[in-house]
């Protein structure tokens, strides 16, 4: 069974543990790097500050084990989905879709937007299955595509 939990700043250790695994395992999928968040960048105060900067941070559990994460930030008239990751051993079991669903639900009547590496075919296929459409090249990064999903009726 897939569960989801909205984390607070006091849960920063759980977020840190999974986020560092994500950055180490799939460095090509994210704008941040492992180097940004290790060594001097790996400080409790910084992880806690992230919860102030990014208001929605969800952990996804599969049979009670934390296996996935996703976050969301307001972006103009929309909500931006960021930091989606599922541990490799739990992939292909609907955790990624559940994470996207959670953000779409939280967005309510606002569209959901995101950036994804143009070469990240598995993620793009999943976003398309979840109702996202291509919204052009990311003006800030030619290697990324923007995608957008209309609110649920
Ligand atoms: C993209 C990602 C979040 C998807 O998570 P997931 O839990 O595997 O997602 P789902 O199970 O909901 O759907 C995955 C799709 O791949 C298929 N799949 C099957 N086995 C799989 C496997 N071993 N690994 C990955 N996908 C698999 C699933 O069936 C599904 O496709 P379909 O149902 O349309 O056929 C995950 O692959 C990941 O963390 N990738 C690296 C980080 C990343 O790219 N993040 C997005 C940044 S924009």
CA distance 144 to 142: 5
* Contact indicator for 67, 61 with CB cutoff of 8 Å: yes
Name residue, tokens 């291509």: 134
93 lines ligand 1 (CB under 6 A): yes
The enclosing domain of 72 has a CATH number of: 3.40.630.30
Beta-ladder partners of 4:
60
pTM for this entry: 0.95
In what order do the strands lie in the sheet containing 65-75?
2-6, 56-62, 65-75, 78-86, 112-117, 141-149, 133-138
What is the mean pLDDT of the segment spanning 32-42? 95
Give the ligand 1 atom nearest the CA of 100. 12
26 lines ligand 1 (CB under 6 A): yes
* Contact indicator for 121, 129 with CB cutoff of 8 Å: no
Query: What domain count does the chain have?
Result: 1
- 88 CA distance to ligand 1 middle (Å): 9
Q: Is 9 left (phi over 0), alpha (psi -120 to 50) or beta?
A: alpha
pLDDT tens per residue across span 101-137: 999 999 999 999 999 999 999 999 999 999 999 999 9
pLDDT tens per residue across span 86-95: 999 999 999 9
- 112 CA distance to ligand 1 middle (Å): 19
Domain that holds residue 93: 2-149
CA distance 45 to 126: 34
């Amino acid at each position: 069974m897939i569960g989801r939990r909205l984390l607070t700043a006091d849960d920063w250790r759980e977020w840190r543990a999974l986020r560092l695994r994500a950055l180490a395992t799939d460095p090509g999928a994210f704008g941040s790097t492992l180097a940004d968040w290790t060594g001097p960048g790996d400080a409790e105060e910084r992880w806690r500050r992230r919860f102030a900067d990014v208001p929605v941070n969800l952990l996804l559990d599969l049979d009670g084990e934390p296996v996935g994460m996703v976050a969301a930030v307001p972006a103009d008239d929309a909500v931006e989905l960021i930091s989606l990751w599922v541990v490799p051993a739990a992939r292909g079991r609907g955790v990624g879709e559940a994470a996207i669903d959670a953000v779409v639900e939280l967005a309510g009547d606002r569209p959901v937007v995101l950036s994804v590496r143009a070469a990240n075919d598995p993620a793009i296929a999943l976003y398309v299955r979840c109702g996202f459409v291509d919204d052009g090249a990311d003006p800030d990064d030619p290697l990324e595509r923007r995608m957008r999903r209309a609110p649920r009726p």
